[in-house]
Amino acid sequence: MRATQALAAAVLALATATAFAHKPSDSYLAISVEGTEVKGQWDIALRDLDFAIGLDDNGDGDITCGEVKAHRNDIGAYSLARLKLRSGGADCPLHATEFLADDHSDGAYSVMLFEGACTAEATTLEISYSLFADIDPQHKGLLRLEHGSGTRTGIFSPERATQTFELEKISALTQFLDYAREGVWHIWIGFDHILFLLSLLLPAVLAFGGGRWQAVERFAPAFWDVFKIVTSFTVAHSITLSLAALGVISLPSRLVESAIATSVVLAALNNVFPLVHGRRWMVAFFFGLVHGFGFASVLRDLGLPQNALLIALVGFNLGVEGGQLAIVSTFLPIAYALRASWFYRRLVFLGGSLAITVVAGIWLVERAFNMKIITP
């Protein structure tokens, strides 16, 4: 090569050494791992795929959707052959499930969804990435790895083609606390459970005698009454919650929700027109069974980790109890202090019970007939 020519190229570089125009080649790899299951999405630039396996069949410089479609299997085979997931010393074979397209800031990408399974629950995941390593060492794979224990990111390049990710088991305590918090939260926002409990507790500081309610004389009987009611409610709903969550029994949610509303109506009405007194803990137990099904549906919505079923169940249940206890321990002293007053006996006890009856009655209609009256 003539020196002049060589110099021309280099001296031109004197100013262009830092001029940099385009985004380099990247692929975007998102992998989500749950237990043994792997799901993912892989966005690869069409330009890169074209360079590697040829997509522009008619050679017109445009890549059409039809051309990409015709090469789906090639794209899947080519790319998945360059991505290896291993866990516990064994491969987690992957297969493509769907192909889409997307536009990134630098052009159109093929979007491939894929799935796979590892033989055992992944605790360490080894990912080997060699896409385009042989044809473009500048290419990088940008990984986002989702796992119950958190989100990790990684950058793959030929120098860092294999990386290992510790999928730390979500600590049992974290999981337990998460579900306990959900339990508390559910009681707190679950007005139907609160109102049911209140309906049963309102008469605890009163005693029915001679056809009318009278204030109890000592705290101990009131306390034990409340204790029995809360305990039997808890035991009952724990039974059905567990059975339903474990899939032993399943009831249609409309039926459960309607039955819960009915239980509130009956419990409140019983204060106005007493039928059952003295043994309200049995009422609490009976309807507690119904409420348990309601809790179970919440737990189902949250999703139950198959590997930590017991922790989730116990955590959620104890959360519910904790929430209940907080309500009861606020209620009881106040009610006891006010039990002899007109305010409590007329307004809170009778007026409150009537109001609860009305609200729960409306819920019952809403839920039984699938209507919206007061529920937002």
Other CB atoms within 10 Å distance of the CB of residue 375: 9
3-class SS of residue 134: coil
Which of 26, 245, 292, 349 is close enough to bind other proteins by CB under 8 A? 26
Q: Does 34 bind other proteins (CB under 8 A)?
A: yes
Q: Does 298 bind other proteins (CB under 8 A)?
A: yes
Instruction: Choose the stretch contacting other proteins; rule: CB under 8 A; options: 117-125, 198-206, 300-308, 329-337.
Output: 300-308
Q: Does 243 bind other proteins (CB under 8 A)?
A: no
N residues, the chain: 376
Which of 44, 68, 204, 283 is close enough to bind other proteins by CB under 8 A? 68
Cβ proximity to other proteins: between 129 and 349 the closer is 129
User: For 212-308, where are the alpha helices, taking DSSP H only?
Assistant: 219-245, 253-272, 280-302
Cα–Cα distance between 260 and 263 in angstroms, integer?
A: 5
For residue 63, which of 78, 47, 75 has the smallest C-alpha distance? Answer: 47
- Restricted to residues 187-216, the positions that interact with other proteins (CB under 8 A) are 189-192
Which of 6, 53, 90, 172 is close enough to bind other proteins by CB under 8 A? 6
- Restricted to residues 323-342, the positions that interact with other proteins (CB under 8 A) are none
Instruction: Choose the stretch contacting other proteins; rule: CB under 8 A; options: 52-60, 239-247, 265-273, 316-324.
Output: 52-60
- Restricted to residues 347-376, the positions that interact with other proteins (CB under 8 A) are 363, 367, 375
CB-based burial, 141-163: b 16+ in 10 Å, e otherwise: bebebebbeeebebebeeeebeb
Burial of 256 (0-12, 13-18, 19+ CB in 10 A): buried
Residue 319: how many CA atoms within 13 Å on its side-chain side? 26
- Restricted to residues 99-118, the positions that interact with other proteins (CB under 8 A) are 100-108, 111, 113
Which of 137, 221, 333, 351 is close enough to bind other proteins by CB under 8 A? 137
